[in-house]
């Protein structure tokens, strides 16, 4: 599993569904460079069980992301048609109707592979035939990307393990606080807490208060 923190996020162009209803081609995260931070997250598949809880949880907090000038973008290995069908399905029937942020189609699995969250790989068997070893879906990877297109935080969960949207927002707050103030954020820091000046004097001052 690659660590992309500190590196430019891999580039891609792909089909996506916008505003829960509109197809677009050549969707790219490059449109946000210089303008917004991005939370780019992968989920395994449409029409599954844990995935809608995460997707809808991001939507429930979408105003919190927008207030922080952060774009939320989801991605799975399903087609844009599968995304649209799921977006048109009511929540009470297991759908994700009402989701407005972009859902990217990684139908060729190249985006998942480039972000190194694909839960398997193609290989040759003993007969020389190519086959997929593992699960042909993405792990639950999440990448916080800054305005320069650099990954500043990543977390990758196994398929059964849902993520915390509140923790994602906490990490955004920490990154933006550091960018604005130059102070680093200690363990369990949250917005409004004291931070630390990145020098010994600042560390001593912080420790004396705690």
Q: What is the pLDDT of residues 102-158, one digit of tens each?
A: 999 999 999 999 999 999 887 888 778 888 788 899 999 999 999 999 999 999 999
**130 burial level (CB within 10 Å; 0-12, 13-18, 19+):** exposed
What SS3 class is residue 119? strand
Whether 3 and 154 have beta carbons less than 8 Å apart is answered as: yes
- pLDDT tens-digit series, residues 44-76: 999 998 889 999 999 999 999 999 999 999 999
Give backbone dihedrals phi and psi of 134, rounded to 5 degrees, phi first.
115, -155
Domains present along the chain, CATH in parentheses: 14-163 (3.40.30.10), 165-210 (no CATH)
Rounded to whole angstroms, how far apart are CA atoms 176 and 73? Answer: 19
Beta bridge pairs of residue 141:
156
Among 4, 16, 51, 55, the active-site one is 51
Q: pLDDT value at position 2?
A: 85
Q: 4-13, 140-149, 190-199: which has the minimum mean pLDDT? A: 190-199
Rounded to whole angstroms, how far apart are CA atoms 108 and 115? Answer: 13
- Is 51 marked active-site? yes
Number of C-beta neighbours around residue 12 at 10 A = 17
Q: How does 141-180 read in b/e, with b if 16+ C-beta sit within 10 Å? A: bbbbbbeebebbbbebbebeeebebeebbbbbbbbbbbee
């Amino acid at each position: 599993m690659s660590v992309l923190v500190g590196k430019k996020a891999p580039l891609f162009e792909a089909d996506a569904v916008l505003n829960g209803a509109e197809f677009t081609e050549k969707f790219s995260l490059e449109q946000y460079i210089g303008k917004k931070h991005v939370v780019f997250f992968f989920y395994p598949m449409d029409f599954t069980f844990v995935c809608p809880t995460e997707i809808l949880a991001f939507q429930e907090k979408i105003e919190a992301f927008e207030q922080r000038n952060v774009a939320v973008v989801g991605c799975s290995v399903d087609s844009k048609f599968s995304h649209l069908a799921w977006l048109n399905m009511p929540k009470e029937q297991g759908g994700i109707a009402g989701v407005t942020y972009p859902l990217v189609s990684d139908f060729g699995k190249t985006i998942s592979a480039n972000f190194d969250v694909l839960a398997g790989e193609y290989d040759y068997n003993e007969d020389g035939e190519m086959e997929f070893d593992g699960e042909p879906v993405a792990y639950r990877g999440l990448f916080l990307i800054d305005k320069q297109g650099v990954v500043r935080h990543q977390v990758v969960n196994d398929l059964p393990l849902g993520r915390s949207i509140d923790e994602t927002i906490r990490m955004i707050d920490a990154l933006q606080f550091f960018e604005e103030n130059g102070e680093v954020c200690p363990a369990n820091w949250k917005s409004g807490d004291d931070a630390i000046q990145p020098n010994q004097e600042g560390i001593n001052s912080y420790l004396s208060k705690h």
